[in-house]
Chain A
Amino acid sequence: MDEKLPESVDVIVLGTGLPEAVLASACARAGLSVLHLDRNEYYGGEWSSFTMSMIHEVNQKAPNTLTPDQKSQITELLEEDEQLVELGHQKVLSEVEMKWLQDDVKEKLEKESQMRRFSIDLVPKVLLSKGAMVQTLCDSQVSHYAEFKLINRQLCPTTSSSDGHITLNSVPCSKGEIFQNSALSILEKRALMKFITFCTQWRGKPDAERRELLGAHADRPFGEFLKEMGVGETLQEFIINTIGILQPRPTAMTGMLASCEFMDSVGHFGPSPFLFPLYGCGELAQCFCRLAAVFGSLYCLGRPVQAMIKKDGRVIAIIANNERINCRHVIMSARFVPEDVPILETSEIERIVYATDKSIKEAQKEQLTLINLASLRPEAAISRIVEVGFEACTAPKGHFLVHATGTREGETSIEKVAGQILAINNVQPYWKMSFTGKTLKFDTTAGELAENVILAPQVDASLHYSHVVEECREIFCKNWPDLDFLPRTIKNDEENEEEVEKTATGEENQVEN
């Protein structure tokens, strides 16, 4: 029943996660012939979003290594001097657990067929309004395929020194918001405005001068520098919390850079510098795949991708579903890396997702919320919460997904801190999922991977997409130095358009008769 795959292409891309999708679209856009395969029946791999009814798919299928029978069948496809290398089933998600905490809610959601209205992100990230991702989306016109909402609320947790009670205060982003903010005193507002003015001036200076301006503080903690600038302790915490979401543990130098990055993006689409994709982050990978398809890339999901064929140290073909497809390059996600390639290092990201029917902090209108939890988990580099619901098309009306993300350092788990945040407004989650996302660092020096195999970037702990996109760009430019990475499309929409007007009659009976 399946159509046959092509015999030969320029590039085979394995895995449909965001980085693979970006690279596939860049290749297709540049005129290379691309075949994009995934073993999963769905797009996005470990970057995907799932409905509540499909979330069980997140459990990676048990690796079906080749049986001797299959192997001999495949070996028949090989020619002289060719070597068969079985592709891996690397586990990039582990300890996946999910559980309903309130069965009555489950029944109700099922009855109202609301389960498909959830979009549960494995990697909840945001876009910086002036960051590399937004730029790439606009240049490539992938922006046509997606819509976004502003993350319109950034909350800063403050722990009372007397009773340890945590309160969540809104972070003002724009000048208007600073002016209206009730948590800051007039003096603090003045100090904050002074700081912003300093940032604006600092940003305009050449690199060398920037460092000079920070003097001896440049590589000291950001807080010390702020203190030197006359910023009081409360405001220091506030600024460090806000900026820290972009740059954990900032020094004066990295803190200033992050402040500029933050302020650069403020006011671009609204008061907040951050955007969230409607229907969840998994949409982005799909949107890039669509662009690749528009430029001729062939898509095939749910294919057993079995092995690669090597000759003289290069990959010359991929075997999928017992079919041989010749190629010049292979781009693969970590999942496909052969099992015998040594792993140097594994870094882990802890993830907890709660489904709730009440916001962390209720407001008149539903908000998309971001919280930096660093102050509650100072030992860990990354601890944050993203809460998105109906407004972001990721949950039914009145429901929310609370995404906690954290690196593993220190004694306090991200789960415990997330629990504290939920407790503030007495939020009782009715569903919970937890898992560990793994980033595997492979030792490619030994040559187990051929020189024309390109490893796609993996999930990182960063809040936004700039690093991923930049990494994809670098990889592309390194491998195809003569080609442009997703160049700006000059063609305007209107070019596709025929300006001949038609008059619809608007009367049904005329046509239906």
Chain B
Amino acid sequence: MNNSNRPVRLHWMEDYKYLFKVVLVGNAGVGKTCLVRKFTQGIFPPGQSATIGVDFMIKTVKVGNDKIKLQIWDTAGQERFRSITQSYYRSAHAIVLVYDVSCQPSFDCLPEWLGEIESYANRRVLKILVGNKVDKGDEREVPERIGTDFSDVNHFDYFLETSALDATNVDQLFEQVATRLTNDMKVTDERVHQYRADATNSSANSSGPIKLIDRAQTQLNSCCSSRQ
């Protein structure tokens, strides 16, 4: 069948209300990957082996009655030598900056990370500060109070202490991200609708950015449908 030129994106949008890009940053070894894996797969990956070939994880959560997809991105090890690409920060809806409460140097690096976020991320990005590894009890080097203060002074939207090992606050962290982004988005949606109603002659020119995935998806769909 010769399908019309309908944008495929709309087709796969049906299945959820919003898709948000969440990126994690912070020093090597603070447990970013573990947080993501714990949340998306419920496992705590043993050892320090890098996860080859895994780009981002997707998890669907429910906010109220809405299905929200979180696309959670990890640094792919580029933080080891402070060589994270600027493009990593682009189009992120939320940035989760992680430090290790049992490792003072990972906390001391936060201002540097903030600098990168300010330089490359969207100005209105949701900023979350996370102190991970609270399970380490006695080995704690950064008191919770210090984390809270840093979060307040630097205008983070949210601060939380977590443990990817015993799952403390892991779900809460990402649920908060989803909830806050959804609420923000609903406000924007209303504004956009208002704007669209005002602009009567919105031509094809007023297109949003193009994701090349649409095309790959088209091919995928068309070859699937021809097989059936």
User: What distance in Å separates the Cβ of B112 from its nearest Cβ neighbour in chain A?
Assistant: 12
Q: Which residues of B contact A (CB under 8 A)?
A: 5, 40-42, 50, 52-64, 67-68, 76-78, 80-83, 85-88, 90-91, 119, 160, 169, 171-172, 175-176, 178-179, 183, 203-207, 209-216, 220
Apart from A295-B52, A496-B57, A508-B176, what are 14 other A-B pairs with CB-CB below 8 Å? A51-B119, A141-B216, A143-B212, A149-B207, A294-B53, A298-B77, A299-B81, A496-B40, A498-B40, A498-B41, A502-B60, A502-B175, A504-B178, A511-B175
1/0 per residue A269-304: CB within 8 Å of B?
Answer: 111000100110001001101100111101111000
Complex formed: what's the CA distance from A93 to B180 in Å?
Answer: 47
B88 and chain A: residue at smallest CB distance: A290
Minimum distance in angstroms from A465 CB to a CB of chain B: 13
A283 adjacent to B62 (CB under 8 Å): no
* A269-B61 in contact (CB<8A): no
A213 beta carbon closer than 8 Å to chain B: no
- Given contacts A147-B91, A496-B56, A504-B63, whether A286 and B215 have CB atoms under 8 Å apart is no
Q: Would you list 28 pairs from A and B whose C-beta atoms are within 8 A, ordered by A residue?
A: A43-B85, A143-B213, A144-B56, A146-B87, A150-B207, A152-B205, A269-B215, A270-B207, A271-B204, A278-B91, A286-B87, A286-B88, A294-B76, A298-B81, A299-B77, A300-B80, A301-B81, A367-B205, A492-B220, A496-B40, A496-B54, A498-B41, A501-B62, A502-B59, A503-B62, A504-B178, A506-B179, A511-B175
Chain A: interface residue count, which band?
A: 35 or more
In the complex, which residues of chain B have a beta carbon less than 8 angstroms from the beta carbon of A271? 204
What 3 A-B pairs have minimum CB-CB distances, sorted nearest first? A504-B175, A143-B212, A286-B85
A278 / chain B contacts, CB cutoff of 8 Å: 90-91, 209
Is B58 a contact partner of A144 (Cβ separation < 8 A)?
no
B72 to chain A: closest residue by CB: A496
- Once A498-B40, A504-B63 are accepted as A-B contacts, the answer to whether A145 and B87 lie under 8 Å apart by CB is yes
A79 contacts partner chain B, Cβ-Cβ < 8 Å = no
Name A's interface SS.
mixed
Decide: A497 near B176, CB < 8 A? Known: A150-B210, A279-B90, A511-B169: no
B86 and A147 contact, CB distance less than 8 A: no
Q: A150-B207, A300-B81, A502-B171 are in contact. Are A287 and B52 (CB under 8 A)?
A: no
Give bound CA distance, A301 to B220, whole Å.
Answer: 37
| B58 / chain A contacts, CB cutoff of 8 Å | 493-494, 496-497
Contact A293 to B76, CB < 8 A, known contacts A143-B212, A511-B176: yes
Which of A298, A497, A501 meets B57, CB within 8 Å? Answer: A497
- Check B52 against A298 for contact (C-beta < 8 Å): no
Contact present for B64 and A506 (CB under 8 Å): yes
Task: Confirm or deny: A365 has a beta carbon within 8 angstroms of a beta carbon on chain B.
Answer: yes
- Chain B residue nearest to A367 (CB atoms) is B205
Instruction: Give min CB distance, B32 to chain A, whole Å.
Output: 14
B205: chain A residues at CB < 8 Å are 152, 365, 367
Binary CB contact string for chain A from 122 to 152 against chain B (1 if under 8 A, 0 otherwise) = 0000000000001001100101111111101
| Cβ-defined contact, A275 with B59, below 8 A | no
Q: In the complex, what distance in Å separates the CA atom of A503 from the CA atom of B171?
A: 10
The answer, among A2, A141, A267, for a CB contact under 8 Å with B55, is A141
User: Which A residues are in CB contact (< 8 Å) with B61?
Assistant: 501-504
**Which residue on chain A has the smallest CB distance to residue B80?**
A3
Q: Across the interface, which residues of A come within 8 angstroms of B60, CB to CB? A: 497, 499, 501-502
**Distance in Å: Cβ of A142 to nearest Cβ of chain B:** 9
* A167, chain B: closest CB distance, angstroms: 21
Of the residues A3, A138, A290, A505, contact of B76 by C-beta under 8 Å: A290
By a CB distance below 8 angstroms, the chain A residues around B207 are: 149-150, 270
Q: Which of B81, B169, B216 contacts A138 (CB 8 A)?
A: B216
Distance, CA A376 to CA B52, complexed state (A):
52
CB neighbours (8 Å) of A367 from chain B are 205
B20 to chain A, nearest CB (A): 12
Instruction: List chain A residues, Cβ under 8 A from B67.
Output: 501
Q: What 0/1 pattern do residues 219 to 257 of A give for CB contact below 8 A with B? A: 000000000000000000000000000000000000000
CA distance A499 to B59 in the complex (A): 7
Asked if A399 is at the interface of the complex by the 8 Å CB criterion, the answer is no
- CB-CB under 8 A from A283, the residues of chain B are 86-87, 90
Bound-complex Cα distance A177 to B155 (A): 49
Q: Does A268 contact B (CB under 8 A)?
A: yes
Answer yes or no: A116 CB below 8 A from chain B CBs: yes
* B199 CB to nearest A CB, Å: 10
Instruction: A299 to B171: give the CA distance in the assembly, Å.
Output: 31
Assess whether B63 is in contact with A149, with CB atoms less than 8 Å apart. Answer: no
Give the distance in Å from the alpha carbon of A502 to the alpha carbon of B63 in the complex: 9
> What CA separation (Å) do A287 and B84 show in the bound complex?
11
Cβ contact within 8 Å between A147 and B215 = no
Q: Find B86's partner among A149, A286, A365 (CB 8 Å cutoff).
A: A286
CB neighbours of B59 from chain A (8 A): 497-498, 502
